[in-house]
Amino acid sequence: MDTTEVLEGSEAVALAVQACCPQVISAYPISPQTHIVEALARMVANGDLNSQYVRVESEFSAASVVSGASAAGSRAYTASSSQGLLLMTEVLYASAGMRLPFVMTGVNRAISAPITIQVDHQDTISLRDAGLIQLYVESSQEAYDMHIAAFKIAEDPRIMLPVLVCMDGWILTHSYERVSCLSQEQVDRFLPPFQPENFLDVNDPKSWGSYAEEDVLMEFKYAVQKAMQYSKGRITEISSELATITGRDHGGLIEAYRTTDAEVILLAMGSVVGTIKETIDKLRSQGERVGLIKIRCYRPFPFEDILKNIKEAKVIAVLDANVSVGSEGAVGMDLKAKLCGRPGVPLVIDFIAGLGGREVNEDRIVEIVEKAQELGKSGLPLDESYWVGLNPEIVP
Amino acid sequence: MRISMGAVVPGGTSLEYKTGSWRDQQPVLNMELCKKCGMCESVCPDSAVHEKSEIYRIDYDYCKGCGLCAYECPANAIQMIPEEK
Amino acid sequence: MNAKKKGMEEDLFVSGHRACHGCGMALTVRHILKATGKDVIVVTPTGCLETFTSPYGYSPWRVPWIHHVFENGPSIASGVVAALKAQGRDHVRVLVIGGDGSTFDIGFGALSGMLERGDDVLYICVDNGAYMNTGGQRSGASPMYSSTTTDPAGMQSLGKLEKKKDLPAIIAAHGVSYVATASPAYLKDLEKKVTRAMGYHGPRYIQIDTPCPTVWGFPSDQTMEVGRLGVESGLLPLFEMEDEKITAVRKIKERLPVEKYLGAQKRFRHLFSSDEGRRAMEKIQAHADENIEKFGLLKRANNEKQNGPSQ
């Protein structure tokens, strides 16, 4: 039966991965991912996990090892952060195009320069075009649950794409939480063995990695897009199926929190969601009509589910812990693109909050809500994103 | 042309593309001079020489006319002649 | 019809690929797979071999084959090996067949990592001394004084001034069980080396000089002849190494001056038209002489010729 313990977030992820029995694990160390891959290495060294653990000389190779393993028909796992995720980029685009389903953890960390190990979402966001499914978790418990779901999502025969489970570095990976883990029997019943139709097989030789001319390339890209669209339904179903087993329902592609009559709705993802929920409870008790949409699945972008929950609102305040320099935050841009031209949609304001570990606490969230309310009165959009919490003494 | 999952392609399908159309010149094999050493079959980069019961045949569907077989034949049994279009 | 069908059934690398006329690489790959047999998975990084064997819908590979990206041939192979181990598919072996651009340059780090890990992969570099797929740009494997499109011979240049990276030595220094060089000019020797390599486990490396008529600039029927000239001049020593020691060499039958090899190719033609060019050829001859000495490439009876035409 399942057990509940106080666990470090990284340990929780390692336990989830262990329960899914990947045949191949490969990783290159980078803070703050290290505790996850170290925990897995200990499991292998103690005979508690029967995986081939390939210690590589770079993240490029880590992503490549799991890609090769996946093509050869093995379930595979890797993890990285920040600079390491960027280094993997080329490999990830190729693996998505080749429909190689492995699972990886993106332990969120800001990107150099300046170099930092503090958290923001720029790293995983910068991979958003690659064709990976991206899930963002709020807590270590959700991280545990979603890693297990991730393998089932990735390996669905009509999806067959890598899945990136994103969790905030340090805040989740290095803090301690009560986490309930499933039994091996429960996981085995939920997650069947990986049996792809195509794999590198000497009895049925096939070739991977074709060269495609202009007469077919667009159709291949369209096929990946279609798989992503299809995955929306499956991710919701699989989340629900897992919720039945665990008794914990984190939601589907999104979680709508107190949005029913909200005038201002915040849109966010990652661990900041926990703080936002508490702040909303406080504001609600003061009579403010605020709510939150937590994005659990960022790619594919769940705009249908978001749209269903924002009908009554005047303003959507998007919290972006990332910025596309020269334009706005990614999530804000994704939402605005979907709402543009639809009648009767709320105003969307993009807030850049939490870059490089800048704390997004209750005060800052209140500031965001108040700014959103103020702008809601005029109904006019801002020309630029609103950067939250810049230090006036040093801001250029 | 159908789109396969991940652009995966069954092996050996290149046989559907006849590279013989690339030729400017073609090899002609004189079996009377042939010493049946198998050199031509061995040196063809396009696997376009086949042997059965010690008879060697050029597969003109795929032969690109590179001339390696003619050059390497120790018996001078292969001549390159211009390709008739 | 029957003969064709039978031959094609046995062939693991079939007709219809898009290699240039007389491609040394295509010839080489046919014989590599003759030696390995069908129970292999081949990884090919981006390059000529990948491009001419993978237009969508047309694959000549009758073994499972994967091309991923340019720099990760070795690490894709490591992943395949790990998967095979986990699945208990013991009889299936893994090969990387990749060009010099990937092996010497952009994939070098991944190669070193794979060697250091001791992964059971036979890495075969089909080396034509440049980034041929993209038109012949200079690589770390381009021979000294060759003209390439990014380091061309000109009024103020003799082409590449740097020596070819000595990759077999670098790889041997990783403590690899088997390192060899081979040439499609000597097909039986090539197959023998592949067969011997397949008898070992752990990482193994074979570097095969694959002449390229299109860019080296010689008629397409001379592929093996040019390869022969390179070997018989001493510039391309054919040897085997085990545990960092040279254990076998292919002796030169009749030693040729490097001029014969260089003169047969457009990419060296510029050396024949100036004094600097001729001095450069003397340097190349000296390298050939060094190789002959170092690898003992001449038979005992030819001892008096050992010091070469430069004396």
Report the C-alpha gap between B62 and B20 in whole angstroms.
Answer: 4
Rg (CA), chain B: 15
The end-to-end CA distance of chain A, in Å, is 56
Q: Which residue has the tokens 């999952």?
A: B5
- B2 pLDDT band (50/70/90 cuts)? confident
Report the C-alpha gap between A361 and A382 in whole angstroms.
Answer: 23
pLDDT of residue A307: 96
Classify residue C126: in a domain, yes or no.
yes
- The torsion angle over the Cα atoms of residues A332, A337, A340 and A344, rounded to 10 degrees, is -50
Question: Do A212 and B7 lie within an 8 Å CB cutoff?
Answer: yes
pLDDT of residue C244: 87
The closest alpha carbon to A228, from A130, A135, A133, belongs to: A133
The closest alpha carbon to A389, from A350, A354, A349, belongs to: A354
Domain boundaries along the sequence of chain A = 3-201+209-246, 254-387
Classify residue C195: in a domain, yes or no.
yes
Helical segments of chain C, H only: 2-10, 24-36, 48-53, 73-87, 100, 108-117, 167-172, 187-198, 223-232, 258-263, 275-295
Query: Mean of the pLDDT values across residues C194-216?
Result: 98
Over residues A19-40, the pLDDT tens digits come to 999 999 999 999 999 999 999 9
Query: Mean of the pLDDT values across residues C274-301?
Result: 94
**Pairing mode, strands B49-52 and B55-58:** antiparallel
For residue C279, pLDDT over 50 is answered with: yes
Q: What is the domain range of residue C295?
A: 2-305
Report the C-alpha gap between C251 and C296 in whole angstroms.
Answer: 8
The closest alpha carbon to C310, from C296, C297, A253, C293, belongs to: C293
Contacts of B69 (CB under 8 A, 6+ apart): B27, B29, B39, B40, B43, B44, B49, B58, B78
Classify residue C310: in a domain, yes or no.
no
Q: What angle do CA C19, C21, C27 make, to 5 degrees?
A: 65
pTM of the model: 0.96
- Can you read off the two tokens belonging to residue B78? 């292969």
Residue A168 in contact with residue A271, Cβ under 8 Å?
Answer: yes
DSSP A79-92: EE-HHHHHHHHHHH
Tell me which chain A residue has its CA closest to the CA of residue B10.
Answer: A206
For residue C28, pLDDT over 90 is answered with: yes
Q: Which residue has the tokens 């992969």?
A: C121
Residue C33 in contact with residue C13, Cβ under 8 Å?
Answer: yes
Over residues A311-328, the pLDDT tens digits come to 889 999 999 999 999 999
Report the C-alpha gap between A100 and A68 in whole angstroms.
Answer: 9
- C306 pLDDT band (50/70/90 cuts)? very low
User: Is the domain defined by A3-201+209-246 classed in CATH 3.40.50.970?
Assistant: yes
| Average pLDDT of chain A to the nearest whole number | 97
Query: Mean of the pLDDT values across residues C31-55?
Result: 98
The closest alpha carbon to A351, from A317, A374, A382, belongs to: A317
Q: Which residue has the tokens 């952009």?
A: C106
pLDDT of residue C80: 98
* Number of other CB atoms surrounding residue A21 within 10 Å: 19
Question: Do A56 and C113 lie within an 8 Å CB cutoff?
Answer: yes
Residue of C10, C14, C15 to mutate when probing chain B, most B C-beta within 10 A: C15
| Residue % of chain C over a pLDDT of 70 | 93
Angle between helices C73-87 and C108-117 (to 10 degrees): 30
Four-residue CA torsion sign, C301, C306, C309, C311 = negative
Angle between helices A9-20 and A34-45 (to 10 degrees): 50
Query: Mean of the pLDDT values across residues C209-219?
Result: 98
Residue of A93, A99, A160, A200 to mutate when probing chain B, most B C-beta within 10 A: A99
* Number of other CB atoms surrounding residue B4 within 10 Å: 17
- Can you read off the two tokens belonging to residue C219? 């008629």
Over residues A323-361, the pLDDT tens digits come to 999 999 999 999 999 999 999 999 999 999 999 999 999
Classify residue B48: in a domain, yes or no.
yes
pLDDT of residue C302: 47
- Can you read off the two tokens belonging to residue C43? 């990884």
- C9 pLDDT band (50/70/90 cuts)? low
Classify residue B53: in a domain, yes or no.
yes
Question: Do C57 and A76 lie within an 8 Å CB cutoff?
Answer: no
- Can you read off the two tokens belonging to residue A290? 């605020």
Contact list, A226 vs chain B (CB under 8 Å): none
Report the C-alpha gap between C138 and C159 in whole angstroms.
Answer: 9
- A165 pLDDT band (50/70/90 cuts)? very high
pLDDT of residue C3: 37
Tell me which chain B residue has its CA closest to the CA of residue C26.
Answer: B45
The closest alpha carbon to A362, from A278, A270, A257, belongs to: A278
User: Is the domain defined by A254-387 classed in CATH 3.40.50.620?
Assistant: no
- Can you read off the two tokens belonging to residue A370? 């108040």
pLDDT of residue C7: 46
Classify residue C311: in a domain, yes or no.
no
Cβ neighbourhood burial of A269 (10 Å; 0-12, 13-18, 19+): buried
Contacts of C107 (CB under 8 A, 6+ apart): C45, C70, C71, C72, C73, C74, C98
For residue C305, pLDDT over 80 is answered with: no
Cβ neighbourhood burial of A89 (10 Å; 0-12, 13-18, 19+): middle
Report the C-alpha gap between A347 and A372 in whole angstroms.
Answer: 9
H or E stretch including A372? helix A362-378
Distance from CA of A107 to the nearest CA of C (A): 22
Domain of residue B83, CATH code: 3.30.70.20
| Inter-CA distances, C21 with A194, A279, B69, C25, Å | 43, 72, 12, 11
pLDDT of residue C137: 97
Contacts of C7 (CB under 8 A, 6+ apart): B47, B50, B51, B52
- A185 pLDDT band (50/70/90 cuts)? very high
Over residues A192-240, the pLDDT tens digits come to 999 999 999 999 999 999 999 999 999 999 999 999 999 999 999 999 9
Domain of residue C199, CATH code: 3.40.50.970
Classify residue C32: in a domain, yes or no.
yes
Residue of C12, C78, C111 to mutate when probing chain A, most A C-beta within 10 A: C78
- Give the largest CA-CA distance in chain C: 62
Classify residue B10: in a domain, yes or no.
no
Q: SS3 for A94?
A: helix
Counting as contact any 3 or more CB pairs under 8 A, the partners of C are A, B
Q: What is the domain range of residue B79?
A: 31-85
Contact list, A197 vs chain C (CB under 8 Å): none
Query: Mean of the pLDDT values across residues B55-61?
Result: 97
- A282 pLDDT band (50/70/90 cuts)? very high
Question: Do B68 and C16 lie within an 8 Å CB cutoff?
Answer: no
Domain count, chain B: 1
Classify residue B23: in a domain, yes or no.
no
Residue B13 in contact with residue B2, Cβ under 8 Å?
Answer: no
pLDDT of residue C311: 36
- Can you read off the two tokens belonging to residue A135? 């899930």
Contact list, B83 vs chain C (CB under 8 Å): none
| Residue % of chain B over a pLDDT of 70 | 98
